Structure 1
Amino acid sequence: MSEQAILFDTRSIQRYIFSGNTLKTNIGASYLVDHIFGDILLGKVLSPEHRDKYEISSVDFTSWQTAAEPVKTLPADCYVAYIGGGNALLLFRKKEDDYRKDIVTAFTMQLLVDCPGLKTGAAIGDIDLSSPEKFQTSLNQMYALLKQNQNTVFPRVNVPYTGLTLACDVNGEAANFYDTEGLIDKTPRFFSQEVRAKTQAAMDANIELRSKFKEQLGGVYHFPMELDKLGQREPKNDIAIVHIDGNQMGVRFSSCQNLAERSQLSREVKEQTEKAFANLLDTITKEYSKYKEFLDLKNNYLPIRPLILGGDDVTFVCPAQMAITYAKRFMDFMNQDLGILTVGGSKQISSCAGVAILPTAYPFFRGYQLAEQLCDAAKAKSRKDASTCWLDFAILHGEQAPELSQIRQNEYTGALGNMHFGPYRVDDDTDKYALTALIRCASVFRDALPSSKVKGMGFVREYDHRKKNEIILPSSKVKGMRFVLQHGKADIHTFMEQWHHQNLEMPDIPQWENYTSELWYGADGAPLETPYVDAIEMMDYILPEFAG
């Protein structure tokens, strides 16, 4: 038996959330995206005072959250099948008059008022609930229609900028709202309606976040609402945008046999994600006092702010020095059996991460785009084994090419090959691409101490466990290695001769023992590669006492 259906989706979510460089608008935008279906579609369009016009006498929008058995017949005129991942599926009992287009119209019109700038799409069709096979086939057809509509329908969701209108300096749209109270940046002036909506939602977002993690915050700690309150300190005041995405989650959802399983998996994935983030917050609060050595944290602000925390898709911002640590911890927690996942296969969620390091004042959306591209690069490594976890990173310095591939081509191509060694394996310490190997080497390179022997030169001290002696590496040599690695074998050979002549040795990294003599290595005719450029670049962005 088939039922009438509307499948909604939210388009260009990341561009909507990160279109402004103000953390408060990013926070509010994320909150709006999470609540449009519950607060606007169900709370307003299909509210009791409005649903009569669509001949809907009852709406069931809660039982999907607890349903354990397949739905064969609808318990109400309108049944919410699931909400999650930017999608919402609504089922309707068939009647003589079809009001589904009217519902879509009312919903999108209300969005223009409550969430200007947010683009959505919809597909209207039928869902067959008679068997798992027919359900999956009809749902796939709905998604195919939704995709077709994305490519043919381009909604206008902002008041056009005519050239005679003041442009909003936050997102460039028409500045048609005057902020008399200075809510946005404490100065009364004109902004766009989109910025107004996001800013007003930011306070609700903060209240919801505090409530969700009240046990971890303990009434003591707070999430920052501004980027400059994350604790970054001059001269290394960079921040990091960390984007983490679960591996092959589409496959896990497509394996669901019915609506009940799909809804249950959606709920459990969200619970797993929030539990993993709660565990991360526990580690942060426990070591909070230690951060004062290198961060300027005031008023008990935490050095992390989640921006997207829904399903398996997570984005947070933090000081650059803590990005690798926090990303690794969160991914490790996600990849544990937390006693939550019961459907969809594995009890864990493997994931990949992209870490974009950039100056605080750098355009935020540009940083997020890079983090997404880095996550995609990490996912490319995981495709051989979806159960593995990988992480890639990049550092933005001023004007650079917009695409990750261009940055790597322009800035990380040496005479012998590609100088970027990653992505790095997070869940295996024995792999040559192990993230722990990078952390180990970067920590050796960064531990520079002044020496009276060489005026103005720093030294890197490391203990060699095999030879039981202390190795002293001049930091000028470490920095110089970055440039030598760009050149050919002759220059590297000369550099290493000088290195050994001074009785210096490379850091003892067991996973990289093939690289210590010539710095570059390629097994069995494979392209040459070197891990040391990454380690040198991450010297200032890895704190081994936290990342080990």
Structure 2
Amino acid sequence: MLCISLFDIVGIQDFVFATKKTRENVGASSLVGKVFEVFLFEELLKSFPGAATGWRNAEEFGMLSSAPPQAEMVYIGGGNALVAFRNKEDAVALTRAFSRRVLKETGGGLSVAVAHLETDAVSFTDDMKILLRMLERKKFNMPHGWPLLGVAVSREGTSDGLPAAEEYKNGEGGEWISRPASRKRSSAETSDSLSKLAPEGFSFQVEFDRLGRNKEAGESLLAVVHIDGNNMGKTIKKHIADGDGSYNDAVSRLRSISARISEAFEQTLRDTLSRLSSKETLEALEKEGVVLEKSLLPFRPLICAGDDVTFVCDGRIALSLTAAFLKNLSREKTPGGEEFTACAGIAVVKPHFPFYRAYCLSEELCASAKLKAKKNDSDQPGSWLDFEVVYSGLPVDLDAYRARKYSIPGLPSLPDSGEYHLLWRPYTVAGSSRGDAPAHAWSEARRRLRRITGADGKEKEWPRSKLKGLREAFTMSKDEAVSFNAECESRGDLLDEKTNLFRGNRTEWFDIIDLLDVYIEVPGLLKGGDEI
């Protein structure tokens, strides 16, 4: 009988996004990446020198061989790590050593949850179901209290509000920071694991305040983008089910699909950034007023782990960049030959907007896109994106915020949750054609935007004053919007060949007008030069 242990990192979002200090965000991301790939590996080899850690290249599950190692790394993926031991005592000993290491390296900013299962290695699928249930119970029962924020005589850390533990020296003097902040900064200075994603000759912007600047001194905007893969659990289960049912084959298949998921998402990000860094693309951005610094991309990755990708970029290129990522991802295939799909949430905010709230908003928007995708087709949802532009205020709840902002006075509420009179998004980018997906195609939204701005070369550009007037009319009443549009059409200003201002009590044109100030068409981002 052997023991398999499933590890999970708790508190990643709070740890990474607790501050708007870029150096700390980058350092926190680096530390999260090291938890399993470095800290767990090192503690495993320290406790069991003969442990098998090369799981990506292993052809067999060594624990079932005639000469099993003391411990074996089964896989790392989806924010989890699975390790096999000869007995539970060894598993518990490693857990103690690993937990102490995480506590020390992160200053108490991250925690580890773990579930142990002793098994006869008959059914790997059944064992994983049991382990996952055990892990969820462990996480639910973990203490979730906020750390003591100090007493009357303690100094407050300058970046995250936690009690200051040490003075951080820099060229401009010193500042008192908390222990987690100190660990993050040290990690950023010694290693930035995500810097490897930068194209040759380029690096990423290191200060968020320098993202989203406009040459014409217009509104500075940055975007927080969160991307999450669709149905990854189903994909993994299907790949395992296609095997011969043995424990050894199931472990082998889990390893291969976990590695493939990470490879697909990382390679897609590399490809998209490589195209962003091309001379033609950067010159086009400069013509649009984007402030670029030598060898620095207007982009900063924060998380790239399995099917979970989060980055910050210039707010005006966020939709083009995200749509290109999703389209490029659809070219990547699972071992079974199916397209990878994902959904994305894009929060476009001012540079000084509370950073943690911007990230939470991007997560809510990603969930909104997933809800729409699965409502259309739960088996093959396709890739969808949702976005929100926040100029002022602090949305606490996305649905409540949208109900206030996108409802037309006098019209009855729409029956479906998340749908509002002036809101047409989410949009589908790739892999979805069922239900009302064609009406919500991102390519169609782009076509409309190009039309009213004259970018398609077919019609004259709509005067901005007219578009702003139409936007204002939308917020007053449906009749007011129809009347205003009819007046514009009588003067030759046509939104489309046949303008359907409303479909029932919903309109897609409010979205298009909202995009005018926050969207730049970024050329050359797709493989093969395809259109998005």
CA RMSD of aligned residues (A): 2.4
Amino acid at match of 1:161: G
Residues 433-444 of structure 1: pairs in structure 2 closer than 5 A = 433-444=440-451
1:86 corresponds to 2:71? no
Match of 1:228 among 206, 209, 213: 209
Q: Give the corresponding residue for 1:317.
A: 312
Amino acid at match of 2:439: K
User: In 1, are the aligned partners of 2:284 and 2:522 still within 8 Å (CA)?
Assistant: no
Q: Give the corresponding residue for 2:183.
A: 197
Amino acid at match of 2:97: A
Shift of 1:3: 1.3
Distance 2:277 2:197 in 1: 16
Deviates more, 1:281-290 or 1:370-379: 281-290
Shift of 1:463: 4.5
User: In 2, are the aligned partners of 1:231 and 1:298 still within 8 Å (CA)?
Assistant: no
Q: Give the corresponding residue for 1:106.
A: 97
Shift of 1:268: 1.0
Match of 1:165 among 145, 154, 166: 154
Amino acid at match of 1:311: G
Q: Give the corresponding residue for 1:525.
A: none
Match of 1:418 among 421, 426, 433: 421
Amino acid at match of 1:17: V
Q: Given the superposition, is the C-alpha separation of residues 88 and 497 from structure 1 closer, same or farther in structure 2, using an over 3 Å criterion?
A: closer
Q: Given the superposition, is the C-alpha separation of residues 159 and 179 from structure 1 closer, same or farther in structure 2, using an over 3 Å criterion?
A: farther
Q: Give the corresponding residue for 1:451.
A: none
1:407 corresponds to 2:384? no
Amino acid at match of 1:497: A
Question: 2:296 is paired with a residue of what secondary structure?
Answer: coil
Q: Give the corresponding residue for 2:247.
A: none
Distance 1:113 1:521 in 2: 58
Residues 78-157 of structure 1: pairs in structure 2 closer than 5 A = 78-94=71-87, 98-116=89-107, 117-130=109-122, 134-154=123-143
Q: Give the corresponding residue for 2:361.
A: 370
Shift of 1:320: 0.8
Q: Give the corresponding residue for 1:252.
A: 235
Amino acid at match of 1:251: K
Q: Give the corresponding residue for 2:468.
A: 479
Superposed CA offset, 1:389-429 (max 9, x none): 11100011222331111111111111345211110011269
1:529 corresponds to 2:527? no
Q: Given the superposition, is the C-alpha separation of residues 289 and 499 from structure 1 closer, same or farther in structure 2, using an over 3 Å criterion?
A: closer
User: In 2, are the aligned partners of 1:127 and 1:135 still within 8 Å (CA)?
Assistant: no
Amino acid at match of 2:165: N
Match of 1:240 among 220, 223, 228: 223
Match of 1:283 among 251, 275, 283: 275
Q: Give the corresponding residue for 1:330.
A: 325
Match of 2:265 among 248, 263, 273: 273
Gaps of 5+ in 2: 242-249, 412-419, 526-530
Q: Percentage identity across aligned positions?
A: 26
1:379 corresponds to 2:338? no
Shift of 1:531: 0.7
User: In 1, are the aligned partners of 2:56 and 2:259 still within 8 Å (CA)?
Assistant: yes
Deviates more, 1:370-379 or 1:416-425: 416-425
Shift of 1:490: 3.0
Q: Given the superposition, is the C-alpha separation of residues 262 and 487 from structure 1 closer, same or farther in structure 2, using an over 3 Å criterion?
A: same
Distance 2:517 2:76 in 1: 42
Q: Give the corresponding residue for 2:245.
A: none
User: In 2, are the aligned partners of 1:114 and 1:197 still within 8 Å (CA)?
Assistant: yes
Distance 1:319 1:240 in 2: 6
Q: Given the superposition, is the C-alpha separation of residues 57 and 26 from structure 1 closer, same or farther in structure 2, using an over 3 Å criterion?
A: closer
Shift of 1:210: 3.9
Superposed CA offset, 1:263-314 (max 9, x none): 1111111111121111101211112233222111112101111111111111
Residues 499-510 of structure 1: pairs in structure 2 closer than 5 A = 499-508=488-497
Q: Given the superposition, is the C-alpha separation of residues 473 and 291 from structure 1 closer, same or farther in structure 2, using an over 3 Å criterion?
A: closer
1:391 corresponds to 2:385? yes
Distance 2:456 2:103 in 1: 60
1:539 corresponds to 2:522? no
Residues 41-56 of structure 1: pairs in structure 2 closer than 5 A = 41-43=40-42, 45-48=43-46, 51=47, 56=48
Q: Given the superposition, is the C-alpha separation of residues 168 and 397 from structure 1 closer, same or farther in structure 2, using an over 3 Å criterion?
A: same
Q: Give the corresponding residue for 1:19.
A: 18
Q: What is the number of residues matched between the two proteins?
A: 492
Amino acid at match of 1:13: I
User: In 1, are the aligned partners of 2:165 and 2:179 still within 8 Å (CA)?
Assistant: yes
Shift of 1:506: 1.3
Q: Given the superposition, is the C-alpha separation of residues 223 and 57 from structure 1 closer, same or farther in structure 2, using an over 3 Å criterion?
A: closer
Distance 2:173 2:449 in 1: 44
Q: Give the alignment's TM-score, normalised by structure 1.
A: 0.84
Deviates more, 1:408-417 or 1:226-235: 226-235
Question: 2:257 is paired with a residue of what secondary structure?
Answer: helix
Amino acid at match of 1:380: L
Gaps of 5+ in 1: 448-459, 465-469, 523-527
Superposed CA offset, 1:335-381 (max 9, x none): 1036xx42xx3442111111100011111111111111111111112
Question: 2:7 is paired with a residue of what secondary structure?
Answer: strand
Question: 1:360 is paired with a residue of what secondary structure?
Answer: coil
Amino acid at match of 2:510: V
Amino acid at match of 1:190: W
User: In 2, are the aligned partners of 1:229 and 1:298 still within 8 Å (CA)?
Assistant: no
Distance 2:276 2:196 in 1: 18
Q: Given the superposition, is the C-alpha separation of residues 289 and 506 from structure 1 closer, same or farther in structure 2, using an over 3 Å criterion?
A: closer
Q: Give the corresponding residue for 1:73.
A: 64
Shift of 1:212: 4.9
Question: 2:203 is paired with a residue of what secondary structure?
Answer: coil
Shift of 1:127: 4.0
Q: Given the superposition, is the C-alpha separation of residues 88 and 41 from structure 1 closer, same or farther in structure 2, using an over 3 Å criterion?
A: same
Q: Give the corresponding residue for 1:188.
A: 174
Amino acid at match of 2:44: L
User: In 2, are the aligned partners of 1:323 and 1:355 still within 8 Å (CA)?
Assistant: yes
Question: 1:543 is paired with a residue of what secondary structure?
Answer: coil
Q: Give the corresponding residue for 1:450.
A: none
Question: 2:369 is paired with a residue of what secondary structure?
Answer: helix
Distance 1:435 1:502 in 2: 29
Distance 1:250 1:352 in 2: 15
Residues 2-41 of structure 1: pairs in structure 2 closer than 5 A = 2-41=1-40
Question: 1:174 is paired with a residue of what secondary structure?
Answer: coil
Shift of 1:123: 1.1
Shift of 1:70: 5.2
Amino acid at match of 1:240: A
Question: 1:266 is paired with a residue of what secondary structure?
Answer: helix
Residues 453-472 of structure 1: pairs in structure 2 closer than 5 A = 463-464=457-458, 470-471=459-460
Q: Give the corresponding residue for 2:53.
A: 61
Question: 1:349 is paired with a residue of what secondary structure?
Answer: coil
Deviates more, 1:76-85 or 1:164-173: 164-173
Distance 2:224 2:456 in 1: 31
Superposed CA offset, 1:20-79 (max 9, x none): 111221111111111112322221x3343xx2xxxx4521111x1113445561631111
